[in-house]
Amino acid sequence: MISGTITDASGRTLSGQTTEAFYNSLRHAEALTFGLNCALGPDELRQYVQELSRIAECYVTAHPNAGLPNAFGEYDLDADTMAKQIREWAQAGFLNIVGGCCGTTPQHIAAMSRAVEGLAPRKLPEIPVACRLSGLEPLNIGEDSLFVNVGERTNVTGSAKFKRLIKEEKYSEALDVARQQVENGAQIIDINMDEGMLDAEAAMVRFLNLIAGEPDIARVPIMIDSSKWDVIGKRSEVYPGQRHC
């Protein structure tokens, strides 16, 4: 069971991913359920639960707060009002499992239980087969997709300039190479650090950590281009999103 948190009105997780990007990042785990919880009340969370219910191939859960906290850090949304909103979600077919997070009480949970009693749970949708990738934003490649533009300039074996910048540890300028590719329309960034005079694993980790702090680059998926399994494995530890290796 996987659950994420939309942190504010931007509609993104703490790492900066959209709902669909977050789902794409973790769908390979084939979880029993995938959901959203905390941070927002039912009014604010509704659109993101609706989106998740549309794209998730598994059961969907939702655990909203009892509204947003007031100036004293308390939650004012009463049990009956919250239950009415949750009932509307269930009637719309968004939910398989529902509960409450911050500010909800046994009274809230009981009211929600009564509100959804007898309603049909969400039916699992038929999702078209696609390659589903993500950085901070999703990239879905399906049967109808056109040419996919992969930026190859962040590759030490293919770009003399990039190799020089990495070997001289000019990582700020190396980031500019990646940024320019995204600005010019690259949908995926290929990164390769396989060079005999480089510690490929250390260089990859350092560069990916820097990219993760640059949302204008990190919004697209990263393609890890390496003949070394250790380099590929390190990427999974340091960078959000569903990559292509």
Distances (CA, A) of 14 to 4, 9, 17, 61, 107: 9, 12, 7, 19, 30
Distance of CA 105 to the CA centre of its chain: 29
- Name residue 192's beta-bridge partners: 155
131 among annotated binding-site residues = no
Find the helix or strand (DSSP H, E) in which 54 lies.
helix 42-55
Q: Give 31: exposed, middle or buried? Use CB within 10 Å, 0-12, 13-18, 19+.
A: middle
DSSP-based three-state secondary structure for 48? helix
Is 102 part of any known ligand binding site? yes
Q: Are 64 and 42 in contact (CB under 8 A)?
A: yes
Is 101 a known ligand-binding residue?
yes
CA 205 from chain center: how many Å?
A: 20
Are 52 and 35 spatial neighbours (Cβ–Cβ below 8 Å)? yes
Q: Are strands 59-63 and 97-98 parallel, antiparallel or unpaired?
A: parallel
Please enumerate, by residue number, every residue annotated as part of a binding site: 38, 101-102
Detail the residues annotated as belonging to a binding site for Zn(2+): 38, 101-102
